[in-house]
Amino acid sequence: MNKDNSSMNMDPQLALRLLADGAVLVIAGVPVGTEFGIDLCAYTIGPEFRGVKMIPPGVHYVWCASQGLYGDAAPRVGFVHFFHPNEILVREWDNDLEELRPRQIAEPEVERERIRKNLVQLEKMLAAYDYRHVCAWKDLTGSVTEPCVDRCRPTLGTIRTNVELQSCPDADRPRGEPGAASSSGSKRNAAVRLLLDESELLPNLKPVEGTAPRFSALPLRVPHDSLPADVSRHAMDCIAAVDDLIDRFGSSDALIEELQLAYVFFLVGYSVESLAHWRKLLGLLAHSEAAVSKHKLTYMKYSEVLAHQLPYLPEELMVPSPHNSVFKDVRELLVNLHEGGLSVSAERLRKRLENKLGWYFEGLLDEDPEDQPLIIELPEAQESPIGM
C-alpha cells in the first residue's frame, strides 16, 4: 500500500498510454511489512504486493528497508536503474543481506516474457507509479542519461546509506608529501586545505571494492603544489579549480547530470558519500566570480538545478545560519552570480529560496566586513626632552 493515502486522480487517456508504454518492476519474496519505495513514492509491502507498473521511462531509484522485531526500520538499501518503455525488470529478496538483488535463475529472459504474456493477470498485484510526484522527480533528474547512471552507480549495483570501509595496509598509509616537514610553505598550504576540505582530517579508509558510488574525482580548491603567494588567490576565487572541473567532465551537461544523480542518491537512498560529493561540487562552483563570467551557460543551468534541489535539504541544513556551510556557499554563489553577469539567474534562485525555505539574504551585495582591509591606529610617538 502507498503510505500517502490521499487519492490519485489521473486522466483516463494518460492512464491507458502509461499502461501501454510504462515500464514494470516485479519483486518477489519481500517480507510483509517491509518498507519499499521508488523515487519519491513510498509503500509498505502487503501480502499481495508484487511491484510497480506504469513507471515512466528514465532514471529511477528503488529501495527497501527491512523491519526489525520491534518495528524499527533498517537503513535503506537500493539501486538505480534507467528504465526503457515497456521494460520489465525483475528483482528478488535476499534473505541473508535483506535487500533486493537480480533474479537468480538460469533463464531470466524466459521469465520476463512469461510475465509479459500474463501481465493482465498480474496487474492487480502491481501498484501504479504515483504520478503526483512525477513532475518533481523530472525536475530533480531531468538531465540524467543512461551512460551517467552506468558510470556512477557502484560496481556491485547496491547503494547503501554508508559504504563498507576497510583500513589501508600500513604500507599504503599516507605519510605526507616529501619535504613537507621542512617546508613552512607546505605547512601553510596544508593548513589552508584542512580549512577548505574537512575530509582531510578523517583517517585514511577506503571503500570495500564495488560498494561505493563511482563519482568523478574533483580538483582541490588549493592545489597541492601551490606557491605560498597563490594560496590566498585560490582560496578567494577558485577559477583554476572550476576550469579543471569542467575540463574533467568535458561539458556542462555531463557535470549537471552527475550533480543531479548524486543528489537523488542522497535524497532517496540517504547515501552519505553522495551528499559529500554534492557539497564538494557546491563548494567549488560557489566560490568563483571569474568562473561565472567565463562559464555563463554552466552557471545558468546550475542555478536552475539548485532551485529544485535545495528545498529537499534535511532539516539540519535548512537553518539560515552562519554555521550552515550550505547556506554560506549558496549566499556566496548568489553574490558571484550577480557580479559575474547573471543577475536574472541569481534573483530567480533567491526568490525561490525565500518562498520555499525562508532564506533571506539581506545586504547581499554589501561588502563583507571580513573582506575589507584592517586599519590599525598606531599610538603617537612621544617626544623625548633634549638632553635626556
The mean per-residue pLDDT over the stretch 277-297 comes to 95
Tell me where in the chain the CATH 2.60.34.20 domain(s) lie: 12-141
Q: Which of 50, 81, 57, 77 is nearest to 66 (CA)?
A: 77
- Cβ contact 59:150 at 8 Å: no
Tell me where in the chain the CATH 1.25.40.550 domain(s) lie: 217-370
Q: Which of 319, 13, 299, 272 is nearest to 164 (CA)?
A: 272
Give pLDDT, residue 72.
83
Task: Give the Cα separation of 198 and 216 in Å (integer).
Answer: 19
The mean per-residue pLDDT over the stretch 321-342 comes to 93
Give pLDDT, residue 184.
46
pTM attached to this predicted model: 0.82
CATH of 217-370, one of 3.40.50.300, 1.25.40.550, 3.30.870.10, 1.10.10.10: 1.25.40.550
The least confident of 13-22, 266-275, 292-301, 346-355 is 13-22
Give pLDDT, residue 198.
55
The mean per-residue pLDDT over the stretch 327-332 comes to 95
Cβ neighbour number for residue 179 with a 10 Å cutoff: 9
Give pLDDT, residue 173.
47
Give pLDDT, residue 249.
95
Give pLDDT, residue 71.
75
pLDDT-derived band at 346 (thresholds 50, 70, 90) equals very high
Tens-place pLDDT, residues 134-182: 999 999 999 999 999 999 999 999 999 988 777 766 555 444 444 444 4
Tens-place pLDDT, residues 93-141: 999 999 999 998 888 899 999 999 998 889 899 999 998 999 999 999 9
The least confident of 10-14, 16-20, 61-65, 373-377 is 373-377
Give pLDDT, residue 363.
81
Q: Say what percent of the chain tops pLDDT 90.
A: 60
Give pLDDT, residue 8.
62
CATH of 12-141, one of 3.40.50.2000, 1.10.3720.10, 2.60.34.20, 3.40.50.1000: 2.60.34.20
pLDDT, averaged across the chain: 84
Give pLDDT, residue 226.
76
The mean per-residue pLDDT over the stretch 366-379 comes to 58
Strand runs (DSSP E) across the chain, as ranges?
Answer: 23-28, 35-38, 41-44, 51-55, 58-65, 77-83, 88-94, 99-102, 126-128, 159-160, 165-167, 205-207
